[in-house]
């Protein structure tokens, strides 16, 4: 699990917050509900996850419930890979 | 109690009651997120019940009632319930920061608030809030009542409840301002749409725009007037291009209306190629400029339906329109025009003194006619400042948009007169973002600029002088802004500087800041945060 979190974290920092200290983004930091990721960033994140982990998101799965924190993202990706 | 029966011709709720009489069993609304649907008869009945509940709790004709609920069938029933009670509805984004919503409800002294259970607590929990009594209405809605009494600003027209709704838009001084529309000004637009686009009871309308956004006036009232079906698209699906592309195809939508941003995201990320959009017959966009390259691609993908560019600040509903032809030449680089007067309005292009310019010259577009707002709630001086009275005594609303008339007689949008930009169809006063930044204790100076961006249309960059320890975190700044502003106003990037550049008159030099966007190191200090403009 933790390697998904760290891979996603590196992606987010690199893609959207290049000069940010990694400490600013914790596993439980709300990403979508807090305004850190907007709709376009969320779509880009989904494309990244699909490509990197060989999974597919259905339209209704691109949601706050599934993607709001690094923990949730890891959980969602994990269950998709196993499913 | 007869407060639930303020039904005279020309009012918005009579559109529903008339359609419910004519087509009681036709489906009025469906919500793909829940699978729920409601007929015209049921919607009419439910909204009458809500009107009665409001009246029983002291809501009277001419009152305002706040609406802070996610889009749903029930929220539409409440809108009509409020109207049937003779009151005006004041919709806010249920996801917006509570402080902003509360400020809006205090500003127009609502008598009651229809709130989602999840947000009701944050609206009550303030010593300034007079809404003390909460009644649960089903599992999802709390009705807060006991609101302010008759402190009526002079600009308000209580007489007989002519006010239908107030939409708050971004204000340059930091406080949103309330655009007041009457039943008549909404109907001027709705009735014009009827004649111009001729919908019928077999049509199916998308309802993408949230109810606090003026595009929703078309979706709700034009559809309901004609007994058509409305497919409600909630806040979450509304942001997902994949879901939107799916809904537009699979729900048999015939009338689609959204901002260009939404259509562009669907085009780029919606995987639309494999889907069947054969039911679409009318596509409308409004709220901002549609970049021509993407409009051309969409026109090719959707070659059958007719396309319309609708233009109008919230203050005017829609005041000009333009039909986009089937073929957009490859070498066209200019966006499509905003077109010719709509809604029975008159338009004129004027110079800074308010005098009409010769045809074809640049000037500010001013609008006069039935679809123009009553004014700004409680701000007669703002209303006066936005009104031009000509030598014949005719009042014109000053749009602040600079246009010219082209050879064909269509108006072409050229830009803004002031510091307002359109982003995802929403109005953003850059000054309001600065006010929000100043609420952070460590920000001593803030200057916000908007620049055009290929990917997202408009990118917003905040320059700030920082008094805190170290350098500010972009993530922290985003969260601060998201706590004080609606999501569409949160800047894409933040750049910390020693101090902001000033003009010779000691004002912030915005032109210099615009040049400094995306040029690392051009400020007096190193930039922080997201230098890539990732937003949409």
Residues of chain A in contact with residue B473, where contact means CB-CB under 8 angstroms, are 20-21, 24
Tell me which H or E stretch contains A16: helix A2-16
The pLDDT > 70 percentage for chain B reads 90
Residues of chain B in contact with residue A24, where contact means CB-CB under 8 angstroms, are 473-476
pLDDT at B219 exceeding the cut of 90 = yes
Helix (H, G, I), strand (E, B) or coil at B246: helix
Tell me which H or E stretch contains B197: helix B183-197
Spatial separation of the C-alpha atoms in residues B399 and B314, rounded to whole Å: 10
Residues of chain B in contact with residue A62, where contact means CB-CB under 8 angstroms, are 240, 242-243
B492, B530 contact by CB (below 8 A): yes
Give the residue-averaged pLDDT of B11-24. Answer: 98
| Model confidence band, residue B469 (pLDDT cutoffs 50, 70, 90) | confident
pLDDT in tens, B310-339: 999 999 999 999 999 999 999 998 899 999
| Model confidence band, residue B9 (pLDDT cutoffs 50, 70, 90) | low
Mutate to test the interface with B, among A16, A46, A51, A63 (most CBs of B within 10 A): A16
Per DSSP bridges, beta strands B177-182 and B375-376 are: antiparallel
Query: Does the global pTM surpass 0.80?
Result: yes
Give the residue-averaged pLDDT of B439-466. Answer: 88
Mutate to test the interface with B, among A33, A34, A39, A56 (most CBs of B within 10 A): A39
Q: How many CB atoms lie within 10 A of CB B441?
A: 8
Mutate to test the interface with B, among A11, A17, A57 (most CBs of B within 10 A): A17
| Model confidence band, residue B158 (pLDDT cutoffs 50, 70, 90) | very low
| Model confidence band, residue B269 (pLDDT cutoffs 50, 70, 90) | confident
Is A19 within 8 Å of B529 when comparing Cβ atoms? Answer: yes
If you average pLDDT over every residue of chain B, what do you get? Answer: 89
| Model confidence band, residue B533 (pLDDT cutoffs 50, 70, 90) | very low
pLDDT in tens, B185-210: 999 999 999 999 999 999 999 999 99
Cα–Cα distance list, B21 to B39, B41, B110, B231, B455 (Å): 11, 7, 31, 21, 48
Q: What six digits make up the tokens of B139? A: 């599992």
Q: What is the pLDDT of residue A41?
A: 87
Q: Check if A15 contacts B (Cβ < 8 Å).
A: yes
* Residue B140 vs residue B183, higher pLDDT: B183
ipTM summary value: 0.77
Q: Tokens 């982003």 appear where?
A: B423
Q: What is the pLDDT of residue A62?
A: 86
The pLDDT > 90 percentage for chain A reads 48
Residues of chain A in contact with residue B466, where contact means CB-CB under 8 angstroms, are none
Q: What is the pLDDT of residue A81?
A: 87
pLDDT at B508 exceeding the cut of 70 = yes
DSSP class of residue B222? I
Q: What is the pLDDT of residue B513?
A: 92
| Model confidence band, residue B239 (pLDDT cutoffs 50, 70, 90) | confident
Is B240 within 8 Å of A24 when comparing Cβ atoms? Answer: no
* Sign of the C-alpha dihedral computed for residues B80, B86, B88 and B91 taken in this order: negative
pLDDT at B113 exceeding the cut of 70 = yes
* Residue B133 vs residue B83, higher pLDDT: B83
Sheet with B375-376: strands ordered across: B133-137, B141-145, B112-116, B64-68, B88-91, B163-169, B177-182, B375-376
Of B87-96, B406-415, B488-497, B505-514, least confident by mean pLDDT is B505-514
Spatial separation of the C-alpha atoms in residues B40 and B21, rounded to whole Å: 8
pLDDT at B527 exceeding the cut of 50 = no
* Residue B356 vs residue B528, higher pLDDT: B356
Distance from CA of A74 to the nearest CA of B (A): 20
Of B50-54, B199-203, B460-464, B498-502, least confident by mean pLDDT is B498-502
Is B530 within 8 Å of A18 when comparing Cβ atoms? Answer: yes
pLDDT in tens, A21-60: 888 899 999 998 888 888 788 888 998 999 899 998 887 8
B384-410 burial, b for 16+ CB within 10 Å, e for fewer? eebbbeeeeeeebbbbbbbbbbeeeeb
Spatial separation of the C-alpha atoms in residues B477 and B458, rounded to whole Å: 19
Q: Check if A26 contacts B (Cβ < 8 Å).
A: no
| Model confidence band, residue B162 (pLDDT cutoffs 50, 70, 90) | very high
């Amino acid at each position: 699990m933790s390697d998904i979190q760290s891979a996603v974290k590196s992606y987010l920092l690199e893609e959207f917050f290049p000069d940010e200290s990694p400490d600013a983004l914790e596993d439980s930091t709300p990403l979508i509900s807090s305004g850190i990721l907007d709709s376009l960033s969320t779509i880009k994140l989904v494309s990244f996850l699909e490509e990197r982990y060989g999974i597919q998101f259905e339209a209704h799965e691109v949601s706050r419930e599934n993607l709001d924190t690094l923990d949730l993202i890891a959980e969602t990706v994990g269950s998709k890979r196993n499913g | 109690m007869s407060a639930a029966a303020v039904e005279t011709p020309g009012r918005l709720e009579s559109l529903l009651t008339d359609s419910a009489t004519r087509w009681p069993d036709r489906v009025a609304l469906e919500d793909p997120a829940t699978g729920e649907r409601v007929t015209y008869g049921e919607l009419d009945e439910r909204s009458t019940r809500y009107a009665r509940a409001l009246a029983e709790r002291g809501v009277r004709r001419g009152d305002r009632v706040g609406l802070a609920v996610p889009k749903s069938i029930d929220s539409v029933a409440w809108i009509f319930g409020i109207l049937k009670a003779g009151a005006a509805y004041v919709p806010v984004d249920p996801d917006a920061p509570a402080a902003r919503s509360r400020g809006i409800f205090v500003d127009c002294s609502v008598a009651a608030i229809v709130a989602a259970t999840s947000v009701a607590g944050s609206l009550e929990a303030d010593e300034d809030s007079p809404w003390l009594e909460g009644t649960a209405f089903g599992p999802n809605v709390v009705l807060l009542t006991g609101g302010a009494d008759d402190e009526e600003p002079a600009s308000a027209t209580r007489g007989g409840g002519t006010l239908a709704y107030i939409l708050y838009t971004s204000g340059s001084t930091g406080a949103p301002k309330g655009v007041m529309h009457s039943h008549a000004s909404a109907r001027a637009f709705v009735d014009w749409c009827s004649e111009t686009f001729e919908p019928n009871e077999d049509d199916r309308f998308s309802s993408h725009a949230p109810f606090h956004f003026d595009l929703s006036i078309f979706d709700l009232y034009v559809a309901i007037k004609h007994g058509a079906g409305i497919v409600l698209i909630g806040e979450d699906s509304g942001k997902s291009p994949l879901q939107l592309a799916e809904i537009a195809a699979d729900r048999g939508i015939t009338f689609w209306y959204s901002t260009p941003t939404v259509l562009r995201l669907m085009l780029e990320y919606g995987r639309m190629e494999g889907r069947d959009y054969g039911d679409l017959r009318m596509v409308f966009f409004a709220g901002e400029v549609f970049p021509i390259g993407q409009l051309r691609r969409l026109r090719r993908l959707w070659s059958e339906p007719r396309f319309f560019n609708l233009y109008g600040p919230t203050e005017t509903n829609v005041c000009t329109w333009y039909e986009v032809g089937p073929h957009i030449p490859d070498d066209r680089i200019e966006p499509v025009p905003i077109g010719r007067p709509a809604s029975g309005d008159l338009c004129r292009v004027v110079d800074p003194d308010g005098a009409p310019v010769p045809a074809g010259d640049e000037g500010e577009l001013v609008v006069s006619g039935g679809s123009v707002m009553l004014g700004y709630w409680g701000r007669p001086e703002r209303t006066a400042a936005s009104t031009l009275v000509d030598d014949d005594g005719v009042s014109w609303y000053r749009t602040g948009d600079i246009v010219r008339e082209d050879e064909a007689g269509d108006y072409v949008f050229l830009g803004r007169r002031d510091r307002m930009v359109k982003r995802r169809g929403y109005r953003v006063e850059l000054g309001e973002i600065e006010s929000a930044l100043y609420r952070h204790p460590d920000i001593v100076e803030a200057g916000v600029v908007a620049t055009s961006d290929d990917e997202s249309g408009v990118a917003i960059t905040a320059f700030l002088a920082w008094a805190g320890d170290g350098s500010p975190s972009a993530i922290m700044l985003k969260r601060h802004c998201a706590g004080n502003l609606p999501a569409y106003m949160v800047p894409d990037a933040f750049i910390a500087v020693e101090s902001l550049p000033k003009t010779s008159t000691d004002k912030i030099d915005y032109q210099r800041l615009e040049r400094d966007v995306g040029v690392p190191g051009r400020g007096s200090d190193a930039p922080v945060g997201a230098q890539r403009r990732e937003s949409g």
